Amino acid sequence: MAKRSKKPHKSQAKLEGYVVVAFAEDMEQATEYKSILEANDISATITEPEAHEIASKEIAVMVPEEFLDEAHVIIESQHAYDDFYDFAMEDEDNGEFGDDYFEDDY
């Protein structure tokens, strides 16, 4: 019988102390989360699901555990900003912010 190494793999050792802050739907979103976190001085890493983990296709964005709360706030504030921007662009497309909106009644 072959002995199994008790040493963690390099990828597991690198992620020791890291926890998942968000799951991204695709690599573009994961990279955006990572960039936002790093811009706010929070180290972040991206882990893709292993090939044998068919049930989960989401990509995990991970941060050091001591920065988890701060990272949640940053990501949530980004969601709020994105939602506001999407709402504003949707209203503009519907004509609510058209030329008439900025005309004076004088």
The closest of 11, 8, 30 to 20, measured between CA atoms, is 30
Q: What is the pLDDT of residue 20?
A: 94
Predicted confidence band at 15 (pLDDT cuts at 50, 70, 90)?
Answer: confident
Average pLDDT of 30-51?
90
Residue 55, domain member (yes or no) = yes
Task: Count structural domains, the chain.
Answer: 1
Residue 9, domain member (yes or no) = no
Residue 5, domain member (yes or no) = no
SS3 of 12, please?
helix
Q: Burial, 58: exposed, middle or buried (Cβ in 10 Å; 0-12, 13-18, 19+)? A: middle
Residue 2, domain member (yes or no) = no
Domain that holds residue 34: 15-97
**pTM attached to this predicted model:** 0.61
What's 77's domain CATH number?
3.30.70.1530
